[in-house]
Amino acid sequence: MTRHESDEQNGQRKLIERQGRLADTLLAASEGEALALAPAGLHALPALPGGLAQALRLYRVQAGLRAERVLAGVYPRLRERMEAHQAGSFASLAWTCWRRHPPVQGDLGTWGEALIGLLAEAEAVGLPPLWTALARLEWNLHQVERLPEPGRDPGSLVLLGRLPAAAVRLVLADHVALHRCHAPSLRGLLELPTESFGIGAREAVVVWRDGWQGRAMAIDAAALRWFEALLAGHDLERALQLAGAAFDFSAWLPVAMTRGWMARVETVEQGGGADAYGVAFPLRFTRGVGR
């Protein structure tokens, strides 16, 4: 290595160290700690009264406001609950999230999931588990809105009339997700959706993308078992068995197609199998499967 190359490498290393020190300064826990961590040569603009201390204070204020504004857009219901419990608590959490898990890219729409982990940690000191579950639900709603338009094959529904239930399976769209609420402390999550599917008591929440928006609907125990069976990849016959007699497939299917829950119907490989629209299996009718 030449002297020039060595000097250049040392210069890059020192620059990286200074940048790291600057990041530590801006994200320090307190103003006093920020001043102590400030790298040598860091100064405020001459026109700013108060010097470096005021400059760092302004950054913290602006960053805190930015963090709160971004996260309030992602977690509006959580913010409402936290602020009703204690004014300023959501703003404090947003600043902590920014400080401990700062954005790593310019698109702030990808930032904010770490807030869920902060809430989960705080459960050890008495934070309601419902708040963590609510944050997971709202982050899910935020994320599905950013997904590419899901691919769907409504024409594959013809398989339901051509093949027996054991020979096909229903594939849910990639954006469909379940939020189970078995624990008593999470039951409050079931009150949030304005819509529900199933005649039984609400047991879970299904999230999906409707157009460009994230949507949520409460479902009963039978529908929950049905969704779980589909997500596990079971064929239609087995999925109906697992869902139980209380599940109404004929009511679910049009809702699933209208809401965009279902991506396609596909064949299950058996023996020689069948092609996508073939009739290699003898026809038979199974409960809940229409022609």
Nearest of 132, 131, 150, 128 to residue 214 by alpha carbon: 150
* Residues 233, 250: Cα–Cα separation, whole Å: 20
Q: Are strands 168-172 and 213-220 parallel, antiparallel or unpaired?
A: unpaired
Helix/strand/coil for 47: coil
**In the prediction, which pLDDT does 150 show?**
74
* Residues 218, 191: Cα–Cα separation, whole Å: 8
**In the prediction, which pLDDT does 200 show?**
96
pTM, rounded to two decimals: 0.78
**In the prediction, which pLDDT does 72 show?**
98
* Residues 210, 224: Cα–Cα separation, whole Å: 20
**In the prediction, which pLDDT does 36 show?**
66
**In the prediction, which pLDDT does 50 show?**
67
Helix/strand/coil for 280: coil
Which residues of the chain have a pLDDT value below 50? 270-291
* Residues 129, 187: Cα–Cα separation, whole Å: 10
The pLDDT tens digits for 101-132 are: 998 888 899 999 999 999 999 999 999 999 99
